[in-house]
Structure 1
């Protein structure tokens, strides 16, 4: 199965760079997941060798972390300052609300597992599938939980693209202000580009910067989740329980943002770093897709869909109200 990994990754990566894909918000990461799922299920009856499994796990974990670190090259502190302090407050408010509501609804009201609930919530709150895979190691979640979380985030993240133009026409917001709203509520970076383009260039620019600001917040979010989850496990399990691994790679992401801000790197270097980050993340998402089985998603039932649909509505509706309060 591992032979399909580079082929699918390259197809997804190159397809996402076409004008059609960029105009319609078809990013390399969601496309890699979808293609990986299709191929993985077509090859479901094929035996998975130890070599294939090792390569898929390496891609899904090691390459993902390297990609997230390099993704810091997309952002500078100057860009953050340009959209104002309100955008940072809005992002933090959206993330904290979605995570809190998601946990209460999923665990306490729907009776879902903690790991599955947190993965769905963090994927909705921060940056889609990449956030799910970044959080998975600190939860030691099952592959089924990861697959279900990614599937629901891809579905509702795509659905959001059709909602933003309609909301813009009834919102009476300026394109600049609406771009900030898009960035604070959309799931994926590529979707921020597409949704912003549907309005105008100023909306797209603000959407991308605010979205990247949310991506940057993945670092503290994963660290906080790791600390809270470790404390919960310590309180409920025996002293021999294994420690939850800390996501040290998020500090690499922050360091890359700072480095990119302090040093005026040549454009070819920055472009190489950004392309490398996108390619590594695409390979990681392909590996995830290849390990996602329809049977696992079906077995999860309707609760994950209900949770994701609620968080999707909260992002669009609650995010708009929070935007109005701050702006």
Structure 2
């Protein structure tokens, strides 16, 4: 049986005050050549909400629920919290873990999917943090992708049902996830698999949730693109799609942000603000389903992944789609799987 000392909750991070917004955005975009005017635009989105992203608060609440679930199931594992882009930074958290004597920990990333930014970049975060701490850093083993876990699907489905109860019965169900460059999606997956692991997993999760809800027809669209207009990203965009649905005579829309496990700023801006305002402008009923990390089953999901890795439970999956990451026998993602997209030379 695998022995571990702790669980590391690894997330994206977000500002918790107006003065933190610009430094946070500079961390997110460092080395990507994003023009200052684009940062100005995104900074305004954060300042619209007082300079506070909900993500850190929601992560702390989810961690508390996981700690309670671990205790309920008799697992004595402390849970640590680290971020990629803002405090608590993962490097500092791993140093804290090392000082506390943690030698081996599992890592739960707050992303259900494959792809570069959704999966491989978390492996890079882990490696960077261990390098920063040095030889005393604990071994860190990332848990697998969970887009088709029964508890994930059930939580998202119930959120869809709750949202649908607030709009007319002839609503259109639309799933959204964070857009990525087409080149990044094509490289998502090990060589020989055919690529597009990210978009195919999102589509499969949407299919599973729609089937659970009992909806035969639905759409998968994208949001939050941030690249230059000449670079193709996954489309259509959610706001454009709402407008297109209106043109087809759709009177009501339910949007499920299936690509997100908690309310990132992208959810509360792109969906609750921009998409909702577009629907209101067009006279359409609009409801946004909740993200799953506030559902008690989300904590159960995390603990089930821990038990699976420890060899105490069988993998819980509703599809045959690959779910990479680290496995209980220590296997990692394939070499060259989900590589960072090559940026054009200008």
Normalised TM-score (structure 1): 0.33
Comparing both structures, which one devotes a greater share of its residues to helix? 1
Normalised TM-score (structure 2): 0.32
Structure ID, larger Rg: 2
Comparing both structures, which one devotes a greater share of its residues to strand? 2
